[in-house]
Amino acid sequence: MAGGTYAGDVTQRLPSAPGDAPEPQPTHEATTHGVGPHPEPWPDDPRLDPELLANGDTRNVVDRFRYWSMDAIVAELDTHRHAFDVAIENWQHDLNIGSIVRSANAFLAGTVHIIGRRRWNKRGAMVTDRYQHVRYHPDVSSFLEAMRAEGRPVIAIDNTPGASRIETAPIPERCVFLFGQEGPGLTDEAVAGADGHLEITQFGSTRSINASAAAAIVMHSWVVQHADLP
Ligand SMILES: C[S@@+](CC[C@H](N)C(=O)[O-])C[C@H]1O[C@@H](n2cnc3c(N)ncnc32)[C@H](O)[C@@H]1O
């Protein structure tokens, strides 16, 4: 997306009372935190977006990316993305997918794969999907075939029979974590076709944790085993 239109895109204008000037309203991308217009003279840096410099930057980005264009941020993230990908089965429009994408961005996953329906609820993603590479696969078999072709081991994540504990198992550095949906969990086809199968150990009475919570724990487990911490 062109950074030039960005600041305008993130703010809805809603009138508060007849005759009042419209107030900018926070949207999913615009937070109440941020920075105002950059004092002049502006830095001579092609990564900076003139419209953000002029209007301020209230996007949901870490401070070091303030005023950067979206394209420049994605290009910078691409230079050091982690070796794990994330995949989600999407048969019922699961609301968790947005939060999983947001965690994938926070933990710097390589690519997010969505298997099944192309439409997914982006609300929980807080616009992080635009900084992420997202690939679509029509079904489990084409996803497994694509991963096999690029030599990326598929690790099924579900607390179903045959799983090893993620707390003690070595996690391959290069891999793709495959998550199921609320309700049905991972399909049998997905578990059978995977190269590994891990579960998060639970101690209480509930059968499972929320899929996006599980995804965040799994990505962080990868970070604990493999990431270079700054
Ligand atoms: C809410 S669970 C539903 C299925 C679950 N197996 C059951 O029996 O209720 C949805 C997804 O969250 C993830 N998940 C939830 N709890 C997990 C756990 N303890 N270990 C690994 N994955 C889990 C899995 O990817 C699962 O497919």
Which tens digit of pLDDT belongs to each residue from 90-126? 977 667 899 999 999 999 999 999 999 988 888 888 8
Q: Dihedrals φ, ψ of 111, to 5°?
A: -140, 150
Is 35 touching ligand 1 by the criterion CB < 6 Å?
no
- Which domain covers residue 43, as residue numbers? 7-79
The rounded distance, in Å, linking the Cα atoms of 78 and 80 is 6
The residue among 34, 52, 79 that closes a domain is 79
Is 180 touching ligand 1 by the criterion CB < 6 Å?
yes
Q: What is the predicted pLDDT for the residue at 67?
A: 98
Q: What is the CATH number of the domain that holds 91?
A: 3.40.1280.10
Q: What is the β-pairing status of strands 57-59 and 30-35?
A: antiparallel
Rounded to the nearest angstrom, the distance between the alpha carbon of 209 and the centre of ligand 1 is: 6
Contact 171, 222 (CB under 8 A): yes
Specify whether 113 is located in the same domain as 35: no
The residue among 63, 79, 95 that closes a domain is 79
Residue 2 lies in a domain: no
Q: Whole-prediction pTM value? A: 0.86
The residue among 15, 44, 79 that closes a domain is 79
Contact 160, 184 (CB under 8 A): no
Rounded to the nearest angstrom, the distance between the alpha carbon of 137 and the centre of ligand 1 is: 21
Is 87 touching ligand 1 by the criterion CB < 6 Å?
no
Specify whether 215 is located in the same domain as 126: yes
Is 92 touching ligand 1 by the criterion CB < 6 Å?
no
Residue 66 lies in a domain: yes
Domain count across the chain: 2
